[in-house]
Every structure is written in C-alpha cells, then in structure tokens.
Amino acid sequence: MSPKKLNDLRKEIDGIDSRIVELINRRGMVSCDIGEIKKKKKQPIYSPDRESQIYARVMKKNKGPLVDESVKAVYREIMSACLSLEQPMTVAYLGPELTFTHQASLKKFGSSVSYLSCDSIPDVFREVEKGNANYGVVPIENSTEGAVNHTLDMFVDSPLLICSELYYPVRHSLLCKKGSMRSITRVYSNPQVFGQCRGWIEKNLPWAKLRDAASTIKAAEIAARHADSACIASELAAEKYQLKVLARSIEDNVTNVTRFLVMGKQMSRISGADKTSVVFSVKDKPGILHDMLVSFKSIGINLTKIESRPSKKKLWKYYFFIDMEGHCETPKIKKALRHLEKKCYFLKTLGSYPKGNG
C-alpha cells in the first residue's frame, strides 16, 4: 500500500471520528433533557427495559465487521456516560475491587458511574435500602456450585426489587508470588471458588492445604505476602498484586458462569422479553407443591428455576424461589400469581426484569 493511500485512509478515519464525537455529545445533551423529565416525574435513573431495547436494536443494525460483543461494549460506555449526565448514580457491589461481582458490575453499568464496595451481601442490600447507593449487584447462582444462599435469604425480608440480571463467565487462575506448583503448601480463595475448581485441585495440588478467604482479591493479597502460598483468582488480581500466573482456566466446568442480580427500589417495566422472580411458602398439605407446579403448566408458563431454602422462622418450613418467563404485569403472569396465592400462606414478588443473556 502506498503512503498516499494510507494517508487518505487515515484522513477518512479522522473525519469519521469527528462525526462520532459530535453524535455522542448530541446524545449526551438529549440524555440531560431526559434526566430533567425523570426528576420531575420522580422516575428512576436506570431503565433496564429501555437498556434491553437499545442493545437489541443496535445488535440488529450491526452488519459487521465488528462483532456484536464489541459493539455492545462500546455502547455500554456510551450509555454509562449518558446515565451519569442524567443524574449521578452509585452502584453497590460485593467487594473489594476486582472481585467477579465488581467486574460484572462494570460490565453492566460501565465506568462512568460511581461504585461502592461492600464487605458482605447484607451490606449491599443495606446500602441500597438506606439510599447510599441507587442499585446493588449481588451473585445469585453459579452454573457449577448452584445458588448463593445468602442472597436468597436476604430477598425474603428486604423491600428491594430485582430490576435486572446478567450472566458473567468466570475464569479462575492459580497465582503465586514466585516459585512453582511444587513449592506451594497453602492455597487461598473463596469457598465457592474452591468448589468450582475442586477436580483440578485434587489432581494437581492434592498436598496443598486449602484456606478460605473472604474474596478472591483478599486471597491474592495474602498470597502476595507468602512465598509458599498461592491463590485462585482472576488474572486482574495477578496484575494488581504482581503475582505469577501458574495455571489458567482451572475451573472444572469450561462453561462456568455466575448469574448476578441488580436490585433497586423500583421494578422494571415490560421489555418484551422478561422474567419474574417470586418467593413463597406453601400450606402444609400433601401434594401441595405438585398442585402449584401443575397450575403453572396449565396456564402455559415456563418455569426456569426453582430453589428451596429452610425458613429461619419456623422449624421444618421452607421457602421456594421460582423464576418464570414473563412480566408480572401481563395477564398470564397475573393469573398464575393469583392461583399461587390461594395455595400459599406467604407470597412475595421479588421483581420482573429483562432476561439476561446466558
């Protein structure tokens, strides 16, 4: 390629960039106007239904050569910047920084909003309930280890509603300060992470003692101080604490994915591709749970998840958590919930929200 041709193409790129910057700022100005209307109407800053519709429309218009994920990543930051122009927004998450929950939060909300690190799942709920954060992000289940029980338990009594969800692929690496696997005597990580890597650990580090840490980042911090210790964490943790990557992608399931929920004080509106979550406790009668499930089938509602948890208020009583396809404001879901209510002594709708990609 001749230098002249290269220069011509670079000039074309410069012109395109100028138009992109102009259009992004024009979008920001419109977002400011939207923010003013939302303030007057006391509407929430973040609209998961609108976000879902924007992504769907943009992906439909994408003809390449950029892949959908690349275009979506660009739009995530554009929407994040525009949200921050509408109104300052804070998102609480299960911390510290660089945990998978933090990474999932960034994937959801982008880098232009403010983030509040919390030490525990109950702390995330409390910060949103007290108004110190607009939204909170917590893990709800992992494809390998199943439900996160602390999150399920919090939803029983919390006034917060689920307004969005996302699925985040989780990749674990074995990290240490120096040395080889043979020199490792202890491995630190979160208990759930040990569960996700159990097979690999038994095969490759059967002699090492496993030590629980509050988070993968805390595990990395400990491993950075001890030459004979390692941790299981993300490669971002390796960068932060200058650790050596001994092995990558050591999770037993190559499709290891964690589902995260975004909760706030208001429910999402209908997006057209929604999910509703409820928690209930059934009356103590033979076959009652079967009868309840049959009623969903007869109405034609697809249940995507059912999980049970023991009640902490009464011996041998259980709460059941159910996810179903559809929004609670649609006639079909309303009918199903009316039927369910007749069979329960406790029923609570936890939220309706756009289905995440997973």
Q: Which residues contact 35 (CB under 8 A, 6 or more apart)?
A: 45, 85, 86, 87
Distance CA 144, CA 254 (A): 10
| Cα angle: 114, vertex 118, 120; to 5 degrees | 150
Which of 255, 279, 310 is the endpoint of a domain? 255
Q: What is the pLDDT of residue 345?
A: 81
Q: Are residues 262 and 156 in the same domain?
A: yes
User: DSSP letters of 179-233?
Assistant: S-GGG--EEEE-HHHHHHTHHHHHHH-TTSEEEE-SSHHHHHHHHTT-TTEEEEE
Q: Are residues 150 and 262 in the same domain?
A: yes
Q: Are residues 143 and 262 in the same domain?
A: yes
Distance CA 32, CA 185 (A): 56
User: DSSP letters of 23-40?
Assistant: HHHHHHHHHHHHHHHHHH
Residue 297 and residue 266 in contact, taking contact as beta carbons nearer than 8 Å: no
Is pLDDT above 60 for 358? no
Q: Domain for residue 277, yes or no?
A: yes
Is pLDDT above 80 for 275? yes
Q: Are residues 180 and 148 in the same domain?
A: no
Q: Are residues 331 and 274 in the same domain?
A: yes
Is pLDDT above 90 for 309? no
Pairing of strands 173-176, 244-247: antiparallel
Q: What is the pLDDT of residue 316?
A: 54
Question: Across residues 3-23, what is the average pLDDT?
Answer: 90
Distance CA 279, CA 265 (A): 17
Count up the domains in the chain and report the number: 4
Q: Are residues 236 and 341 in the same domain?
A: no
Question: Across residues 304-328, what is the average pLDDT?
Answer: 83
Q: Domain for residue 316, yes or no?
A: yes
Which of 234, 255, 276 is the endpoint of a domain? 255
Range of lowest pLDDT (11-25, 75-89, 273-287)? 273-287
Beta-ladder partners of 230: 176, 187
Distance CA 87, CA 36 (A): 9
Q: Domain for residue 10, yes or no?
A: no
Distance CA 227, CA 224 (A): 7
- 346 falls in which pLDDT band (50, 70, 90)? confident
Is pLDDT above 80 for 314? no
Indicate which CATH number applies to the domain containing 71.
1.20.59.10
Q: Are residues 155 and 262 in the same domain?
A: yes
Query: What digits encode the pLDDT tens for the residues 45-97?
Result: 899 999 999 999 999 999 989 999 999 999 999 999 998 898 889 999 998 88
Query: What digits encode the pLDDT tens for the residues 90-149?
Result: 999 998 888 889 999 999 999 999 999 998 999 999 999 999 999 999 999 988 778 888
Indicate which CATH number applies to the domain containing 213.
3.40.190.10
Is pLDDT above 60 for 315? no
Is pLDDT above 80 for 320? yes
CB-based burial, 328-341: b 16+ in 10 Å, e otherwise: beeeebeebbebbe
Query: What digits encode the pLDDT tens for the residues 152-201?
Result: 989 988 999 999 999 999 899 999 988 788 889 999 998 889 999 999 99
Residue 119 and residue 150 in contact, taking contact as beta carbons nearer than 8 Å: no
- Count of residues making up the chain: 358
Q: Are residues 227 and 250 in the same domain?
A: yes
Q: What is the pLDDT of residue 148?
A: 86
Q: Are residues 262 and 124 in the same domain?
A: yes
Q: Are residues 181 and 324 in the same domain?
A: no
Indicate which CATH number applies to the domain containing 287.
3.30.70.260
Q: Domain for residue 1, yes or no?
A: no
Q: Are residues 117 and 138 in the same domain?
A: yes
Residue percentage of the chain with pLDDT more than 90: 62
Query: What digits encode the pLDDT tens for the residues 211-259?
Result: 999 889 999 999 999 888 999 999 989 999 999 999 999 999 888 899 9
Q: Domain for residue 49, yes or no?
A: yes
Beta-ladder partners of 259: 141, 167
Q: Domain for residue 14, yes or no?
A: no
Q: Are residues 163 and 180 in the same domain?
A: no
Six-digit token string for 273: 């591709």
- 313 falls in which pLDDT band (50, 70, 90)? low
Q: What is the pLDDT of residue 290?
A: 78
Q: Domain for residue 3, yes or no?
A: no
Beta-ladder partners of 352: 276
Q: Domain for residue 9, yes or no?
A: no
Which of 36, 69, 85 is the endpoint of a domain? 85
> Is the whole-model pTM more than 0.95?
no
Domain that holds residue 129: 89-170+258-266
Question: Across all residues in the chain, what is the average pLDDT?
Answer: 90
